[in-house]
Structure 1
Amino acid sequence: MQTVAILGRPNVGKSSLFNRLAGRKIALVDDTPGVTRDRKEVEAEIGGIPVRLIDTAGLEEAAPDTLAGRMTASSEGALRQADLVLFVVDVRTGLTAADRAFAQWLRKAPCTVLLVANKAEGRLGMQSAMEAYELGLGDPIAVSAEHGDGFGNLHDEVRDRLQAEPRRGRGEERERPLRLAILGRPNAGKSTLLNTLVGEERMITGPEPGLTRDAISVEFRDAEGPIRLVDTAGLRKKARIEKHLEKISTEASIAALKEAEVVILVVDAIQGMDEQDLRIGRLAEREGRGLVIAFNKWDAVEDRTATRRKLEDTLTASFAQMKGIAVVPLSAANGRGLEKLMPTVRTVYDLWNRRVPTGELNRWFETMKERHQPPLVEGKRIKLRYATMPKARPPTITVFGTRAEMLPEDYRRYLVNSFREKFDMPGVPIRLHLRGTDNPYGEEE
């Protein structure tokens, strides 16, 4: 079993991150710096991989014989055991001299280090997370340990790093399942769909809405390999969530979405797609998950042409950032159309995982700049220099250049839409990060 250690200065949210990854509250959490003084360990599963997770005391520059010095020494002991370190910084506070000093120390560490930018709630938090690039530890993973934002992405990154590392005492590696979640409104047919997919009555079904109250995980195989499928409680409008149990069920459903790789959004084709369905889809997009719409009860639809056209119009108007979302009309009750669902899920998963080579990416990037020059901002030309694709899951482009961070929203959409079209990536979220820094291979102009 591999070891993952969480390090960082005091009060950046290490224990909140530990609890979130462990799936339960183990470490005490408080705004007072230094609450954690001893290492805490737990066995957990991150990105489908079993790990030994270690929470550490805050790193502080202090004399060895002081309490702070002994806490730091304990953290250094955890580093020596670790296969992977999650180095946590607080984007609300911004980078400190201590963050920079510890980052320099970790750059020399014998294990892999993943930079986690915590407290990155909302768009402003995501933008602030980009400041952490300067630590020289690679792309920061923006999360909110308090709210659970960004944890699907974090699970993916941890899994990738651990799979790339030789394991200490590693036995035969098990085949990793695709993580798939079924979401939708109450009584849309989610549990019936799960039962039909796995070929047995695993979930209680019936006409009463709300029969499923928890997120239930089931493992099965399709033609391409293992799948961990999670059926969730129906998500109602927030104003209608009143009972404590239903609030817990809703939280479990959202957690399942955040930890999934692909989401199947089950829509009742008779009722059509309503605002709550759109909210679920937007949450999947915001979390960077692949999305497939299962248009259920299709056999009971009378005017199929008009119903399909209305759905496509809704998707075009509501998901501008995920053009081309896959739609599979089916009947979960009798299995009609179901043979197309899992091949579609696998196609979306492959697109979500796809990387574009740097050379090919920059040939496209130069063409886009020639067709449409970046605009003037405050009387100065934005000079975009080059692009990289640091990660997939979802496909992520980082663009470097002078004043790149000032690029207007319409030009950002132009780049994302043309990237999607050029590299044939319909229906998956695409991330665009902008770094206003000099090209190391060229002089500033």
Structure 2
Amino acid sequence: MKSRPVIAIVGRPNVGKSTLFNRFLRNRKALVEDVPGVTRDRIYGSFDWDGRTFDVIDTGGLDIQDPSSLKQSIRQQVQVAMREADIILVVVDIRSGPTPLDADIINLVRPLGKPYYLVANKADNAKQELSGGEFFSFGVNHVIPVSATHGRGVGDLIDLIVKDVEFDDPPPSEEGVDEPVRITFVGRPNAGKSSMVNSILKEKRLLVDSVAGTTMDAVEVPFSRQQHNFVLVDTAGLRRKKAVEVGLEKLAGMHAINAMERSHIVVLVLDSNLGVHEQDARLAQLAVDRGKGLVIALNKWDLVKGRAEQAKIKQQVKDQLRFVPWAAVVPTSTINGHGLGQLFDQVVDAHKRWNHRVSTSELNRFLQEAVEAHHPPMSGRRPLKFYYMTQPQTRPPMFVVHGNRKDVPESYQRYLSNHLREVFTFPGTPLRLFFRSSHGDPNEKK
């Protein structure tokens, strides 16, 4: 057994797999709702216990008898998770007792020859725990009653795993390992976000269906490219607030926004056939407000016929998203792979510039030349004077101009901001520009 084992959580729909997953992680990374089929993709997390680190995979509910394409896709995802896992937890509902579907899942797991445990969930009290004995009829060695909701028995479950499994010594820690670049794909429902992530990975990692709303969780997928590490984050399609009903869709939207806040770069995926809508502009503004790098993917480009129509769509994007002229717009197709390499190159470049720092000497030289080229206007009876310029932080780049006043006219703020981009090239990232007088706090340029 390796030093950092992988645990896969499997079971039929609505037995509490995601609740157990969240209990391990001590957060609500996976969506939980009292409706079967909420989890659809594989969701990864990690937790520490008694000095050991475990990776854990949450999976969709298995329904082997259901022939629908979505259920069959979920089954494929679960099978991949079981192949990746070192330990498998088969979760059942202790209140329902043994079911034929539980037996089918046990029969899927047993031939793999991996350690597995039958976890009898929803045992909220001692009386319900006694019902767990019924599941020994499946011929299993372990039946562990737990209540994932309340945490009852979960620690005993992990202790049993640690006791039964032999671990390798952990490898020596690597110093200087680069932080993975977090790339979050956002957009309206059915814009092709999951297909895009699958195409980049070159595997059917995420569920894809023609029905909008297939993705519900924010799904994180580690990925390596050209010796650099990334985390690709697929999110639920986001609709206008007025169109969102309370409950699951609202929670999925909150997860998508949280994923954006934790990301480094946001890829806004647009459906070329539908053009740019007000909601797309809102999503772009959310990324800017949160200081994230931004790249725009014009997806389904293979369906746009003729140069005239392509030019029309590109102009619409330029007009509707004119407040982010610095964001690269890349036509893409997940059907033939068109533009995906260029998209990733733009993401990498945006991340570099998002982290870029300009030296104080270069900034002061820039400020002197900018003022000589375009003198600042008068502010009342006093002329504006700028003394020096600094960059106190990155992610995104933030600049502070020190002068005799902070009430700089908006037009001159735009001039300096645009000139910064021209001279130092900041594609794919918002900039923050502040003005500070010798007395007072910065005044942010919006």
Report the TM-score when normalising by structure 1: 0.58
| Pair 1:263 & 2:273 matched | no
Match of 1:348 in 2: 350
Distance of 1:173 and 1:360 partners within structure 2: 28
Identity percentage of aligned residues: 39
Match of 2:368 in 1: 366
| Pair 1:387 & 2:389 matched | yes
Q: Which residue of 327, 337, 341 corresponds with 1:325?
A: 327
Q: Compute the displacement of 1:380 (Å).
A: 2.3
Map 1:148-297 to 2 at 5 A. 172-297=175-300
Q: Which runs of 5+ in 2 are unaligned?
A: 1-24, 29-45, 54-171, 441-446
1:334-372, Cα deviation, whole Å (9 max, x unpaired)? 322222221121111112111111111111111111222
Match of 1:337 in 2: 339
> Which is greater in Rg?
2
Residues 24 and 392 of structure 1: is their aligned pair in 2 closer, same or farther, counting only changes over 3 Å?
same
Amino acid across the alignment from 1:436: S
Residues 398 and 240 of structure 1: is their aligned pair in 2 closer, same or farther, counting only changes over 3 Å?
same
Q: Compute the displacement of 1:248 (Å).
A: 0.8
| 2:231 match: secondary structure | strand
Distance of 1:297 and 1:364 partners within structure 2: 42
| Pair 1:402 & 2:436 matched | no
Match of 1:164 in 2: none
1:65-98, Cα deviation, whole Å (9 max, x unpaired)? xxxxxxxxxxxxxxxxxxxxxxxxxxxxxxxxxx
Residues 316 and 373 of structure 1: is their aligned pair in 2 closer, same or farther, counting only changes over 3 Å?
farther
1:6-44, Cα deviation, whole Å (9 max, x unpaired)? xxxxxxxxxxxxxxxx9859xxxxxxxxxxxxxxxxx99
Distance of 2:26 and 2:266 partners within structure 1: 20
Q: Which runs of 5+ in 1 are unaligned?
A: 1-21, 26-42, 51-168, 440-445
Residues 171 and 306 of structure 1: is their aligned pair in 2 closer, same or farther, counting only changes over 3 Å?
closer
Map 1:102-141 to 2 at 5 A. none
Q: Aligned residue pairs: how many?
A: 277
Q: Compute the displacement of 1:381 (Å).
A: 2.1
Query: What is the alpha-carbon root mean square deviation over aligned residues?
Result: 2.6
Report the TM-score when normalising by structure 2: 0.58
Residues 344 and 171 of structure 1: is their aligned pair in 2 closer, same or farther, counting only changes over 3 Å?
closer
Amino acid across the alignment from 1:176: E
Amino acid across the alignment from 2:359: P
1:402-439, Cα deviation, whole Å (9 max, x unpaired)? 11x21111111111001111112233211101111179
CA contact (8 A) 2:276 2:320 kept: no
| 2:229 match: secondary structure | strand
Match of 1:411 in 2: 412
Amino acid across the alignment from 2:277: D
